[in-house]
Each structure stands twice: as structure tokens, then as C-alpha cells.
Copies of this chain bind each other. A is one copy, B any other.
Amino acid sequence: MKIALAQQNYIIGNFEHNFNKIAEAISKSKQHGADLVVFPELSVCGYPPRDFLEFSDFIAKSQDVLKRIAELTKDGAIAAIVGAPSENPVAEGKDLFNSAFFIENGKIAHRADKALLPTYDIFDEYRYFEPATSFQTFNFKGVKIALTVCEDIWNIGNENPLYTICPMDELIKQSPELMINISASPFDFKHSRDRIDIVRKNVERYKIPMVYVNSVGAQTEVIFDGGSIAMNQEAIVHTELPYFEDALEIVEYNDLLNSTTKQNKEQNKEKFSLINDALVLGIRDYFAKLGFKKAILGLSGGIDSAMTLALAAEALGPENVLSVLMPSQYSSDHSVNDSVKMVENLKSPHKIIAIEKPNSAFLDLLNPHFEGRDFDVTEENLQARIRGVILMALSNKFGHIVLNTSNKSEAAVGYGTLYGDMCGGLSVIGDVYKTEVYDLARYVNRNQEIIPVNIIEKAPSAELRPDQFDSDSLPPYDQLDVILYEYIENRQSPKQIIQKGYDEKLVARILRLVNINEYKRYQTSPMLRISSKAFGMGRRMPIVGKYLS
């Protein structure tokens, strides 16, 4: 039996687009002699559909696509496994299941509903779905198959404390000979390794091979990296599909039973290579799925905007990214020079628009109302907001999307101006800590200088008042980032962080900054997610909360 793994990038709610992609893969798989083609979780409607699932029309459209897919299997030449929401016939409980459909000879021959519904971090599945409580294998071409959906294989041996059941422990009682799992398992820079591990643990426990098909593509902030796997029953990776792109590969089931694979065929999982590729895909899909081609950003001469430009140039083509240099009286010469050098390195367009005149116009207008108060953060924010207005005006006139250039450290402590440098339709590096931005810059420059070395080496400055440096108002980034990481990613309390050797006052100051700036992050654009805990939908905090603040 030949099985095709169809790793695809869908558009949520664009049923025509998704159906066409699925139909094309069915047709190709058939041409290559596949008996079965497997698609990812909720392939029919795209994942995550979120509250679109509350529209009965959306569910009806998903069902229609299922019927059209069934038509394609009518000749009996190929069967398919796809994911779609299905209606729960029982009145009590949630209205839907998150289901995998096995479609054969023009009919739905088997349905497996998801039992483990992730409801943490970015996931909200219990909001929509009822968990499955019964489990059934099915037969195809003489092979008994255990079909599961994503999270269902992540409670191996009840090791995952979130769940009380393990679907494969139930299914194994029926002696299946092959596991198939359809997933929409999002990227973070540690997760591709976890994913191989969990597939391996399943294979080692149940002693049968697994075909694991994952989604690929970015859906707003959440990036799916693909990396679908066929693992043989000796727990060796027989095939791993590429990361960050559509792919279709065919494996022979018998090859998964024999020791034909002598080596693990796994790909490079180097952190900054993965982050780079994830962010590039994140930008590309955000633009493509919204129907935009061109980006605009403010290029300040600092490392964050330089990094954003480098990634956008890779994603959209350097000719499609317009950099706007907006110097003020506080800008140093190197800010403009370094920025010009960078756009020349990339052969990317730029404009220089000095903000002096609107800045003076505002100050003339506002000074009589400022009641003689000193220059303070108001005048700093004003400059940042004028830059925001310029970027938004050009974006409105020519149809660019503005890229937000804030990093995770700044977003965490609120070191940024709302509607100023925090403006933009998409935050590219909002989930990358400042110290990681430097490492990523070295990765970007691995073959040639794209980001001028001076941008990487100079001390960070917002240049909103004379001789200003980030270190005037923030602790050094290497200290800041480790404390942020303990609080945000590891959810450690002040006491626990202090016990690790950090200064008590510093810890209290940083955690307070994180918490009192919730209101700013609430109004930030979506941030491409590359870590296990990104700001946005995966971290939900009350703005008026007064814990540690």
C-alpha cells in the first residue's frame, strides 16, 4: 500500500481554494500510484477557524467540500483522509467534533473524532468541540489503521498531565498495524524536536509505524512548519517532509515494516535557521492571504528595523519593501548612513523624509497648552508618532502593509510608543528577544553582509533626545531577557527568579513593567509566534489586574 503525505497550506474559510489544493494532491497522488492520500487536521476549512465555527453556514460549507472530495474517490483508484468539523448528533455537549474522515469509493467510510482538545496557550478547542469518548480502527487494503487527530498522540502513557485518557491506548486494543495522525501542530523553535520525539514514543510504545501529516503555512500569527513524518516500526524516521513549504511524498507501507531505512533522515533544526525561515513564511503568508504584495517600514539605523527589513526582503523580494528613513535633530549620522548602506546591500528602495517640520508644527501648536512643563516622554513619543503618521500615509496612498519592528524585550516592558513605532499591520520580530535578534542578525549575515556590521555593533538607542541610549532606562538586555524569559516562558514567580540569583529590586522592576504595559500590548498588531509563549492570543492577561504591579 502506497501512502501519500500531503502537507499543505490552506486559507481559513476559503473553501474553493482549499478544495482545489486537495483535489490537485489527490490527482497527483493517483498519478504516482498512491492508494491513500493523507491531509492535515481541518484541511477542508483551514486551522484555526476560530469563531467561524459558530456559523452553521461555515459548517455546511465544510460538509459540501467533503462531498466533493468523496466524488473524487468514486472510481476506487484512491482513498483520502481529510480533516473537517463534523456535527455532534447528541444535543448535549458542544455542537461539533474535530474529525478525521476516511473517504473511499465515493463515501465516508470512517470517522475518527479528536479526543484530546488543547485548551491552553493559543488553543481554544474546548470552546468549539466535544471530545470523542469512543475509538475505532478501520481496515484498508488489508491493513488495520488507527486514525487520530493531532493532540490525541500527545498523552503517551498518560505522561501529559492535562488529559485523563490516551486514545492510542484504547485503539491498540484492536491490534492496528499502522497509526495515522493528522495534525495542525504549530511551530516554535523547540517544537519540531518535540514532534519527532512524540512520534517516536508512540512507535516505541505500540510497535507499529506511524504516518504523521502536519499543516504548513502561517495563519496570522501562528506558523505551521510542516515536517510531516513517516516513521518505521523501529522508530527510525523513514521520511521527513520539508519545513515551511507545501510537499507531497509517497511512502510504501511495507517499507515502514522492514529495516530498509538505516539512518534517521532528519533535517537541520538549528534555532536561528528555523526562526529565520518561520518568520519569512509568516510575512509571506500574511501578505499573500490578505492580497498584498508590498511592505513599508521605518528604518531607524537600529538592529530591529534592519532585521525586519532583511526578513521582509527575503519574504517579499527586496524590491517590494520600501524603507523610510525619518531622521530628526536627535538622529546620529550613522543612523542614516548605516540604513542607506543596508538598502544598497539589498538593492531595495528607500525614501528619506525628515520629521523636523511636522514636529515643529506640533510643538508650536501644543507648547501653549503644555503650561511650561519640561521636555519629557511626551516630546519623545511625538517624534515616534509623527513617523507612524508618515508610514501610514504612504501605506494608505500606495497599498503597502506597514511592518512593526518592535522586538519581544521592548514589547514586554513597554519600551515603545503606542501608534508610533508600535504601529503596523504585522509585528515581525515581536516574539524575538533583543539578545536573540543579534544572533539572528549573525545568521542573516552568514554568507554575506546584509545587515551592516555597524548596526549590529553599536549601542542600542531610540534617538528621541540627545545622547540617549536604551541602557539609560532599561537594564542591560542580557539581564533583562533572562528575567523576562523566566517570567513569560517559564511562569516563575518573583521569589523563584530571585532564588536563581537575580537582584530582588531588578526582578520586581521588570515584572512590574511587564504587567503595567498589558494595555499597550493589547493594541499591538499580531506578532509572528516563534517561541513557546508569545504575546497575543497565547497569553491572556487582564489589563486592570494588579498582580505584581
11 contacts between A and B (CB under 8 A): A13-B545, A49-B542, A51-B539, A58-B493, A91-B161, A92-B164, A358-B361, A378-B393, A385-B419, A419-B423, A523-B523
CB-based contact A546/B11 at 8 Å: yes
Contact count band on A? 35 or more
CB-based contact B547/A93 at 8 Å: no
CB-based contact B544/A290 at 8 Å: yes
Residue of B at shortest CB range from A396? B378
The smallest beta-carbon distance between A18 and chain B, in angstroms, is 10
The smallest beta-carbon distance between A482 and chain B, in angstroms, is 18
Q: Kindly list chain B residues whose C-beta atoms are within 8 Å of the C-beta of A161.
A: 91-93, 95
- Beyond A51-B540, A353-B369, A357-B364, 20 additional contacts (C-beta under 8 Å) are A12-B542, A50-B542, A55-B547, A57-B496, A92-B158, A93-B161, A93-B163, A93-B164, A120-B127, A124-B127, A127-B540, A219-B544, A353-B366, A358-B358, A360-B361, A373-B397, A378-B396, A382-B389, A382-B393, A526-B543
Known pairs A353-B365, A364-B357, A546-B11; A93 contacts B382 (CB<8 A): no
Q: Kindly list chain B residues whose C-beta atoms are within 8 Å of the C-beta of A370.
A: 397
Known pairs A50-B541, A55-B491; A14 contacts B546 (CB<8 A): yes
- Would you list which residues of chain A between 493 and 549 have a CB under 8 Å from chain B? 493-496, 519, 522-526, 537, 539-548
CB-based contact A425/B519 at 8 Å: yes
Give Cα A57 to B490, complex, Å.
Answer: 12
Interface residues of A (CB under 8 A from B): 11-14, 17, 46, 48-52, 54-58, 60, 91-95, 119-120, 124, 126-127, 158, 161-164, 218-220, 285-286, 289-290, 351, 353-354, 357-358, 360-362, 364-366, 369-370, 373, 376-378, 381-382, 385-386, 388-390, 392-394, 396-397, 418-419, 423, 425, 491, 493-496, 519, 522-526, 537, 539-548
Give Cα A467 to B289, complex, Å.
Answer: 36
Known pairs A93-B162, A364-B357, A545-B12; A396 contacts B381 (CB<8 A): yes
The smallest beta-carbon distance between A148 and chain B, in angstroms, is 19
Number of copies: 2
The smallest beta-carbon distance between A328 and chain B, in angstroms, is 13
Give Cα A366 to B391, complex, Å.
Answer: 10
CB-based contact B286/A544 at 8 Å: yes
CB-based contact B289/A546 at 8 Å: yes
The smallest beta-carbon distance between A19 and chain B, in angstroms, is 13
Q: Kindly list chain B residues whose C-beta atoms are within 8 Å of the C-beta of A11.
A: 544-546
Of B164, B289, B357, which is within 8 A of A365 by CB?
A: B357
Q: Kindly list chain B residues whose C-beta atoms are within 8 Å of the C-beta of A543.
A: 220, 290, 526
Give Cα A522 to B51, complex, Å.
Answer: 14
Residue of B at shortest CB range from A324? B369
Q: Kindly list chain B residues whose C-beta atoms are within 8 Å of the C-beta of A52.
A: 541-542, 545, 547
Of B56, B92, B358, B388, which is within 8 A of A419 by CB?
A: B388
Q: Kindly list chain B residues whose C-beta atoms are within 8 Å of the C-beta of A58.
A: 493, 547
Residue of B at shortest CB range from A417? B392
